[in-house]
Chain A
Amino acid sequence: MIVQAIAFYLFAAIIIASAVMVIAARNPVHSVLFLILAFFNAAGLFVLVGAEFLAMIMVIVYVGAVAVLFLFVVMMLDINFVELRQGFLNYLPVGALIGLILMIELIFVLTAGTVTPVVPAATGAPIPAIGQVTNTEALGAVLYTRYIYLFQASGMILFVAMIGAIVLTLRSRDGVRRQDAGKQTGRTRAESVEVRKVAPGGGV
């Protein structure tokens, strides 16, 4: 137990510290690297609570895709982050106030609310208890059966997102060199290779 507790506090402390550094770092590339560190530690927390599938997804999706995408954006766009951050101190009081209100609301909700226990008994848990199967197995058992509708609806949303991205950004420009496979394979030796006599010391 004590090892778990130590691991939890270690992961949690590193997450908070690196989250602060994401905002505080002067160099935006460092910010992104701290973000990746935070993601890795969040994955560690998921492992601690027994959600190993979520932990792996966290590493693959967030670190592997999202953070690398951020890194590309930060390096490819010429944004002056120092200038962007200039108003930070002016907005700090307002931001802090909103944060405080949200925190009070959350405490209010958490302490005053009552969780009704009847419903889970009525609906039944869709998956067996955590001790019996692994996360991955439990998810796989319900994702394409019980939740097939939601899965397919999400697929439709991604489909629309793809159409939208193409509609709004794709332009057919002139002078773009495209690969033409037919033209490439249709080339003959005669039109692409030329044998020339080169005089010694003369060059072509």
Chain B
Amino acid sequence: MIESRLPDFMTALPEIWLAGAAMLLLLIGVFRGNGGTRMVSWLAVVAIAVAFVMVAVSPAEREVTFAGMFVSDSFAKFAKELVLIGSAATIIMSLGYIRREGMERFEFPILILTATVGMMLMVSANDLIALYLGLELQSLSLYVLAAFKRDSLRSTEAGLKYFVLGALSSGMLLYGCSLIYGFTGTTNFDSLTTLFQGDAQAGIGLVFGIVFLIAGLAFKISAVPFHMWTPDVYEGATTPITAFFAAAPKVAAMSLFVRVLISPLVGVAAQWQQVIVAIAIASMLLGAFAAIRQTNIKRLMAYSSIGHMGFALVGLAAGTTDGAQSVMTYLAIYMVMNLGTFAAILAMKVKGEMVENVSDLSGLARTQPMLAFVLAVFMFSLAGIPPLAGFFAKFYVFKAAIDAGLFTLAIVGVLASVVGAFYYIRIIKVMYFDEPGDAFDLPVAGELRLVMTVTGLFTLLFVVFPTPILAWAQGAAAALIP
């Protein structure tokens, strides 16, 4: 009965490498003490870069290992590459911040590494149990990161709030998984795909299971009505962590969402499509209207990310490979824009103190024209103004929705993005037309300038070279339906 074959470890090599690197760096950190944080951070970036190369050179064909629980295909490759870029950028951006704020502890980059491993397991999951374990590994690291500044009341509150609500959502997800297992007899995605082929009839129990699963996943991407934690956690957590929350985990959770719904559950699309349409509309509207009254820029970005997840769900609601491709394109562009915006927010520092109100930006165009220009580019892009990258992201999801005949959804989406444009452009108005307040400290740290330059160039130049990203996303989406 004992299987004598060893599983194929090479398929999961990037994950194994990164997990091993996290443990090794922990040892180095313990021996060097907190003085070695900077070295551990840079080594973590190197480890992520090596993992990125491993993912990039891994074969694009679908490979399944560990008794069908782990899958590597071009979809997983695409999502993993995005996640690794997001994590590396976060570690680089946080270097100066954690030293300045007196939270320089070597566990910080290590927890980001373990969260990254969790996200990679998530996007490679080919089984409901593997999905859950990846999600928990990622979430647990994020709970700790949210509360990382343990002497700050707001940070610990954010961590606790995230933890309690996250545990609740994990419970719902598990309940959904158990119902799906109970009514189908399998947790494996491939078996589920076979089962739902043809005109499969989903029983009522199975529908319950799928809805609970969607509820659990919707919490992780903070879609309405599971968004309550987002503004408080984004505001309470320290800014580099907020940047991390808004970038890589969102990409991973959304990719997981796409994989689960498009790959095994596409046969019962009629059952989940209306749920996705409903949460997409609710997220887009809430993201647009609730952000108008925000004065804190981190809270504003929280509502902005709720809205953006709503737009990404529009592509998912289409339930087609084109839809999946548009979601993946959206995620790539969304992540780059967010990293850039948060790099700009991290540069908001007056006399050594971090400030995070929109009004603190007033007159920035006169005191720091370059920073104001970069932030304006990101704001226009987040609002979806052509010819910036954000416009194309929205264009492809709406096109996928219209091709799938979801006209109401597309119309609501366009209206919501008009409303959303108001608060993005208000920031630009504050920067360019208000009287200057206290000037921000100069010079902006080199690592922040690096992140802002790269992401800014991507946002500006996407219109000229869209093909690589689009082809990449297309290959990823095509891998979902074999």
Report A's interface with B, CB cutoff 8 A: 105, 108-110, 112-120, 122-123, 127-128, 133, 141, 145-150, 153-154, 156-157, 159-161, 163-164, 166-168
Choose among B1, B137, B205 the residue that contacts A156 (Cβ–Cβ < 8 A).
B137
Q: Mark B164-200, 1 if CB is under 8 A from A, else 0.
A: 0000000000000001001111101001001100000
Chain A residue nearest to B151 (CB atoms) is A171
B136 to chain A: which residues have CB within 8 Å? 157
Q: How far, in whole Å, are A113 and B147 apart by their CA atoms in the complex?
A: 43
> By the criterion CB–CB under 8 Å, are B114 and A120 in contact?
no
> By the criterion CB–CB under 8 Å, are A167 and B186 in contact?
no
- Min CB–CB distance B143 → chain A (angstroms): 7
A116 to chain B: which residues have CB within 8 Å? 183-185, 195
> By the criterion CB–CB under 8 Å, are A160 and B205 in contact?
no
Which applies to chain B's interface (DSSP): helix, strand, loop or mixed? Answer: helix
- Is B243 positioned at the interface, with any CB of A under 8 Å from its CB? no
> By the criterion CB–CB under 8 Å, are A168 and B150 in contact?
yes
- Is B49 positioned at the interface, with any CB of A under 8 Å from its CB? no
- Min CB–CB distance A111 → chain B (angstroms): 9
Choose among A112, A119, A153, A163 the residue that contacts B184 (Cβ–Cβ < 8 A).
A119
B66 to chain A: which residues have CB within 8 Å? 148-149
Q: How far, in whole Å, are A167 and B159 apart by their CA atoms in the complex?
A: 13
> By the criterion CB–CB under 8 Å, are A167 and B107 in contact?
yes
Q: How far, in whole Å, are A145 and B1 apart by their CA atoms in the complex?
A: 10
- Is B412 positioned at the interface, with any CB of A under 8 Å from its CB? no
Closest 3 pairs (CB-CB, A-B)? A113-B205, A149-B66, A164-B144
> By the criterion CB–CB under 8 Å, are A159 and B129 in contact?
no
- Min CB–CB distance B175 → chain A (angstroms): 11
**What 11 new A-B contacts, CB under 8 Å, besides A149-B12, A156-B117?**
A109-B204, A117-B185, A119-B184, A157-B137, A157-B140, A160-B137, A163-B114, A164-B143, A167-B105, A167-B111, A167-B148
> By the criterion CB–CB under 8 Å, are B133 and A157 in contact?
yes
Q: Decide: A108 near B204, CB < 8 A? Known: A149-B69, A157-B136.
A: yes
Chain B residue nearest to A128 (CB atoms) is B1
B117 to chain A: which residues have CB within 8 Å? 156
Chain B residues 1-36 with CB under 8 Å of chain A are 1-3, 7, 12, 19, 23, 26
> By the criterion CB–CB under 8 Å, are B133 and A122 in contact?
no
- Is B121 positioned at the interface, with any CB of A under 8 Å from its CB? yes
Q: Decide: A150 near B114, CB < 8 A? Known: A145-B3, A168-B147, A168-B150.
A: no
Show 7 residue pairs from A and B whose CB-CB distance is below 8 angstroms, ordered by the A residue: A109-B204, A113-B205, A128-B1, A148-B7, A149-B70, A163-B144, A166-B107
Chain B residue nearest to A117 (CB atoms) is B185
- Is B443 positioned at the interface, with any CB of A under 8 Å from its CB? no
Q: Mark B282-309, 1 if CB is under 8 A from A, else 0.
A: 0000000000000000000000000000
> By the criterion CB–CB under 8 Å, are B114 and A160 in contact?
yes
Q: How far, in whole Å, are A150 and B206 apart by their CA atoms in the complex?
A: 24
- Min CB–CB distance A140 → chain B (angstroms): 9
- Is B482 positioned at the interface, with any CB of A under 8 Å from its CB? no
Q: Mark B87-113, 1 if CB is under 8 A from A, else 0.
A: 000000000000000000101001100
Q: How far, in whole Å, are A117 and B7 apart by their CA atoms in the complex?
A: 28
Q: Decide: A153 near B183, CB < 8 A? Known: A119-B195, A160-B140, A163-B26.
A: no
- Min CB–CB distance B9 → chain A (angstroms): 10
> By the criterion CB–CB under 8 Å, are A114 and B133 in contact?
no
Choose among A118, A153, A163 the residue that contacts B134 (Cβ–Cβ < 8 A).
A153
> By the criterion CB–CB under 8 Å, are A127 and B130 in contact?
no
B3 to chain A: which residues have CB within 8 Å? 145-146
Q: Decide: A146 near B203, CB < 8 A? Known: A117-B185, A153-B133.
A: no
> By the criterion CB–CB under 8 Å, are A115 and B105 in contact?
no
Chain B residue nearest to A109 (CB atoms) is B205
Choose among A105, A114, A127, A154 the residue that contacts B183 (Cβ–Cβ < 8 A).
A114
- Min CB–CB distance B172 → chain A (angstroms): 13
A117 to chain B: which residues have CB within 8 Å? 185
B159 to chain A: which residues have CB within 8 Å? 168
Choose among B67, B191, B206, B208 the residue that contacts A119 (Cβ–Cβ < 8 A).
B191
Chain B residue nearest to A114 (CB atoms) is B203
Chain B residues 49-93 with CB under 8 Å of chain A are 66-67, 69-70
> By the criterion CB–CB under 8 Å, are A160 and B129 in contact?
no
- Is B141 positioned at the interface, with any CB of A under 8 Å from its CB? yes
> By the criterion CB–CB under 8 Å, are A119 and B137 in contact?
no
A141 to chain B: which residues have CB within 8 Å? 1-2
A168 to chain B: which residues have CB within 8 Å? 144, 147, 150, 159
Choose among A109, A114, A153 the residue that contacts B130 (Cβ–Cβ < 8 A).
A153
> By the criterion CB–CB under 8 Å, are B130 and A115 in contact?
no
> By the criterion CB–CB under 8 Å, are B69 and A150 in contact?
yes
Most buried by B among A118, A127, A166: A118
Q: How far, in whole Å, are A153 and B133 apart by their CA atoms in the complex?
A: 6
> By the criterion CB–CB under 8 Å, are A109 and B208 in contact?
yes
B7 to chain A: which residues have CB within 8 Å? 148-149
- Min CB–CB distance A72 → chain B (angstroms): 22
Q: How far, in whole Å, are A163 and B114 apart by their CA atoms in the complex?
A: 10
Q: How far, in whole Å, are A112 and B203 apart by their CA atoms in the complex?
A: 8
> By the criterion CB–CB under 8 Å, are A153 and B140 in contact?
no
Q: How far, in whole Å, are A163 and B121 apart by their CA atoms in the complex?
A: 19
Choose among B67, B143, B186 the residue that contacts A120 (Cβ–Cβ < 8 A).
B186
Q: How far, in whole Å, are A128 and B2 apart by their CA atoms in the complex?
A: 11
